[in-house]
Amino acid sequence: MKIAVCVKLVPSTTALIRVSADGKALDCTGVEMVMSPYDEFALEEALKARDKAAGSEILVVSVGGDGAAKNLEQAYALGVDQCVHVKAPDADAAAAARCAAAVLKTFAPDLVFCGRQAIDDDQWLFPGMLGELLDLPHVTAASSFALSADNAKAECKRRIEGGEETIEIALPALISAEKGLNDPRSPTLKGRLNAKKKTVTVKTPAELGLDAAAMAPALKVEGYAPPPPKSAGKVIAKPAKEAAAELVKLLREEAKVI
């Protein structure tokens, strides 16, 4: 079985993100960059699928600038077989999906795993677009994944409002990973040392047959701004009955939530 995983480098969830002075970009100077957490669930599920299907191989693809190599070193440390870095530092979700699709069409995977979304832009665009470009059925935000005995299909579960949805999907297919799908493993010291001996295949969009039009941003960001500061809270220093009446009045007339 051929298994592919797409991963993205993003700012750490605990990082303090600043807006540049001109408001046109984010200032990530000194910010710790990590593999998007949802992509870690995707990578772990790929490793589990390879463990189940003897003889399988895993290809990991990351689209981005030079820093994306950090993702691939982590993937090699966990034991994947191949890594491809598409150098496209300014690629948005649409362009990144085209880059990944160009790599994966040659690989012809039976299973593709992605995180449900990247935590930096939270757009949820990449997995669905990649599935369409590869002409694969896809399940989004899977919280459970199980291969059939013959590895010809999979059963996925998704959390929905008020319950859980079960989907059976024939392979080849694309699955995007939800939090809780698994418990991602950490690289061992031996794995980290082995990763440094591995070679990452580096491609440019042009080498993949993608021209400037294919890489043009589908979304134009006009500017960034930090969230407005929170207003000071109000303290109602009155007896309980009067305070309750005052609170209802404020909720109705000022907050307008009732």
For residue range 158-192, list pLDDT tens digits in order.
Answer: 999 889 999 999 999 999 999 999 999 999 999 99
pLDDT at 146: 95
2-215: CATH class: alpha beta
The overall average pLDDT reported for the chain is: 92
User: In this predicted model, what pLDDT tens digit does every residue of 1-16 receive, in sequence order?
Assistant: 999 999 999 988 888 8
Residue pointed to by tokens 């299907």: 53
Q: How confident is the model at residue 255 (pLDDT cuts 50, 70, 90)?
A: confident
pLDDT at 229: 82
- From 72-81, 144-153, 228-237, the region with the lowest mean pLDDT: 228-237
CA–chain centroid gap for 80, Å, is 18
Nearest partner of 86 among 63, 70, 67, 69, judged by Cα = 63
Is the per-residue pLDDT at 81 higher than 90?
Answer: yes
Alpha carbon distance 92, 217 (integer Å): 6
**Exposure class string for 16-46: b at 16+ Cβ within 10 A, else e:** eeeeeeeeeeeebeebebbbbbbbbbbbbbb
Q: How confident is the model at residue 22 (pLDDT cuts 50, 70, 90)?
A: confident
Whether 61 and 86 have beta carbons less than 8 Å apart is answered as yes
User: In this predicted model, what pLDDT tens digit does every residue of 30-66 receive, in sequence order?
Assistant: 888 899 999 999 999 999 999 998 899 999 999 999 9
pLDDT at 42: 97
Nearest partner of 7 among 78, 55, 56, 110, judged by Cα = 78
Q: What pTM was estimated for this model as a whole?
A: 0.84
pLDDT at 7: 97
Q: How confident is the model at residue 121 (pLDDT cuts 50, 70, 90)?
A: confident
Q: What average pLDDT score do residues 108-137 get?
A: 92
Alpha carbon distance 165, 155 (integer Å): 10
Is the per-residue pLDDT at 23 higher than 90?
Answer: no
Structure tokens given for 104: 């994966």
Is the per-residue pLDDT at 111 higher than 90?
Answer: yes
Q: What average pLDDT score do residues 230-252 get?
A: 88
For the chain, give every residue range classified as CATH 3.40.50.620.
Answer: 2-215
pLDDT at 218: 82
Nearest partner of 63 among 105, 29, 40, 93, judged by Cα = 93
Whether 34 and 10 have beta carbons less than 8 Å apart is answered as yes
pLDDT at 230: 81
User: In this predicted model, what pLDDT tens digit does every residue of 188-219 receive, in sequence order?
Assistant: 999 999 999 999 999 999 999 999 999 998 88
Is the per-residue pLDDT at 99 higher than 90?
Answer: yes
